[in-house]
Amino acid sequence: MTKKIMTKNDLKDGMIVRTLDNALYLIFQDKLIDREGFIRLTMYSDDLRHIYHDDWTITEVYDEQFERLDIAFLVEGANPIWKRCPPVVEMTVSEIEKKLGIENLKVVAEKE
């Protein structure tokens, strides 16, 4: 991966994107296109999150060029040029205790 930040303006015709629901789309003429239809890029914020459907948020971008529209042939193991990093979760010990439903949690270092 070469880019830490990817924006809508970085998307070019011929790129392939993967969404949160693991669907693949071809970028073409300001649309995400697959066999069932398309999603307009105007429905995305600049950080590639879909305005209305979280599942359609773009999580990976591939700079693959295809001669045909069957993007199912995305090479297995192809490396994305950009991948959305999962958000950092910060929690206190008491928040972790509550989330896990346990009391008296003690955090210890991993044994090597």
Encode pLDDT of 65-100 as tens digits: 555 545 555 555 677 899 998 878 898 888 988 999
Global confidence as pTM: 0.70
DSSP letters, 42-97, are GGB-TTS-BSS-GGG-EEEEE----SSS-GGGPPTTPPPSEEPPPPP----HHHHH
Residue 14: both structure tokens together: 């011929």
Note the pLDDT tens digit of each residue in 9-51.
999 998 889 999 999 898 999 999 988 999 999 999 999 999 9
Contacts 24+ apart (CB under 8 A), 32-38: 33/69, 34/71
Give the whole-angstrom CA distance, residue 57 versus residue 79.
19
Residue 42: both structure tokens together: 């105007």
Domain spans of the chain, in order of start: 8-86
Distance from the Cα of residue 100 to its chain's centroid: 28
